[in-house]
Amino acid sequence: WDERQEWVKDNISLISRVAKDPIGCLSDWEGAEEPWQFLAACDEYYHCCIVKDKETTGLPVATDATCSGLQILALLAKDEKTARLVNVLPSERPQDAYKVVAGVAKWNCPSHIQEVMDRKVVKRTVMTIPYNAKPYSNRAYIKDALKEKGIEIDKDDLTVTVQAVRDAMHEVVPGPMSVMRWIETEVSKAITRGEQELSWVTPSGFVVNQRLMKKQIERLQLQLLGKCEMYVATDDTDQVDRNRHKAATAPNLIHSLDSSLLSLSAIRFDAPIATIHDSVLCRATDMSCLSSLVRETYMHLFAEHDYLTEFAAQIGAETKPPIIGDLKPETVIDSTYFFC
């Protein structure tokens, strides 16, 4: 945050130029990562803080969770190692789990890939594995990221690279990966013993009912552009889809806890607010208050409850969840970069 504030102080002339003549100074802002947001911020800062002809601001700003899937899983497992990497624990500078995973994975990648293995290559894969992304989608993400660097990777090398990243996840974030394996195992057992659906109650009181049935498939014969056969799902059968339950439960649990965190925070926040998945938006002058509320809510959710054990009871788990137990969730209250 200090560096960001220093950047503003060092670029008053740039901000003023853009605000006063955005068309004439197009080259100053069109290359920004988010050019329209940058333009809006320059205009608002210029009028509120430089010429001071505006006394209030209506500009919304956003802060995002640091890899929210891993944040939630780290707290469920009470895994201090993972929590530190995703800014649940206080630190002087933001931590970067993507960079750490890339650093571990690179040594098991093909030699010509190692030099370019960085956070950008692995980010989408690391971000989506907590939501049960499988190797097939991992392949697409990594292939696209390498292509942006001008590198074409063949099928076999891509397989090795994807496996290296997935193996690195088990080494870098062991708690979350163990929780996901446990959830899949217990869900499979629940379906085997005859459960038709899974249900749990979130900390906000919302009841999740997960009912996933196998699809009724019909074969269509088409003759347009040559004879073609295709299969389409037309309705649910009366058979429970075990594989879909196994794949969906961890992501749905994470999303249900994400939504609890934001809904409980929003209820306590008496100002304009918007939310997008794991991101909160409010006026710049209200962000300090909202950030504190999000951290306090997170602390209450996980420091005062052993939610993974509660979830285990609600789905009738036959084994205890894999809780590491070396994390004190209340430390999040002092984490500057929990949402940033």
Phi, psi for 238 (deg, rounded to 5): -100, 15
Question: Distance of CA 95 to CAs 15, 87, 92, 118, 227, Å?
Answer: 29, 6, 9, 15, 56
Selection from 320, 294, 300 nearest residue 308 by Cα: 320
- pTM of the predicted model as reported, rounded to 2 decimal places: 0.86
Q: Alpha helix locations (H) across the chain?
A: 2-10, 12-20, 26-29, 35-45, 68-77, 80-85, 97-105, 111-114, 119-128, 135-148, 155-172, 174-192, 242-268, 287-303, 307-314
CB 118 within 8 Å of CB 99 = yes
Which two structure tokens, joined as six digits, stand for 233?
């799902």
Which two structure tokens, joined as six digits, stand for 69?
């899937």
DSSP states along 83-141: HHHTTSS--SS---HHHHHHHHHGGGS-HHHHTT--HHHHHHHHHHGGGT--HHHHHHH
Phi, psi for 129 (deg, rounded to 5): -60, -40
- Among all chains, which residue has been given the structure tokens 């003759």? 223
Phi, psi for 239 (deg, rounded to 5): -105, 130
Phi, psi for 64 (deg, rounded to 5): -120, 150
Exposure string of 175-193, with b = 16+ CB inside 10 Å and e = fewer, is bbbbbbebbbebbeebbee
Q: Is 81 helix (H, G, I), strand (E, B) or coil?
A: helix
**Cα separation of 96 and 86, whole Å?**
7
User: What pLDDT, on a 0 to 100 scale, did the predictor assign at position 40?
Assistant: 95
User: What pLDDT, on a 0 to 100 scale, did the predictor assign at position 232?
Assistant: 87
Residue 51: CB atoms within 10 Å: 11
Q: What is the pLDDT along the chain (340 residues), one digit of tens a residue?
A: 889 899 999 999 999 999 999 999 999 999 999 999 999 999 999 999 999 999 999 899 999 998 899 999 999 999 999 999 999 999 999 999 999 999 999 999 999 999 999 999 999 999 999 999 999 999 999 999 999 999 999 999 999 999 999 999 999 999 999 999 999 999 999 999 999 999 999 999 999 999 999 998 888 887 776 677 778 888 888 999 999 999 999 999 999 999 999 999 999 999 999 998 889 999 989 999 999 999 999 988 888 888 999 999 999 999 999 999 899 889 999 998 998 8
User: What pLDDT, on a 0 to 100 scale, did the predictor assign at position 216?
Assistant: 87
**Cα separation of 62 and 209, whole Å?**
31
Which two structure tokens, joined as six digits, stand for 139?
């392949």
Selection from 34, 86, 85, 87 nearest residue 61 by Cα: 34
CB 80 within 8 Å of CB 266 = no
User: What pLDDT, on a 0 to 100 scale, did the predictor assign at position 225?
Assistant: 66
**Per residue in 137-168, pLDDT tens?**
999 999 999 999 999 999 999 999 999 999 99
At residue 166, what is the residue type?
Answer: R
Phi, psi for 65 (deg, rounded to 5): -65, 150
**Cα separation of 302 and 313, whole Å?**
17
The separation between CA 119 and the C-alpha centre of its own chain, rounded to angstroms, equals 15
Round to the nearest angstrom and report the end-to-end CA distance of the chain. 9
In this structure, what DSSP letter does residue 220 have?
A: E
User: What pLDDT, on a 0 to 100 scale, did the predictor assign at position 304?
Assistant: 82
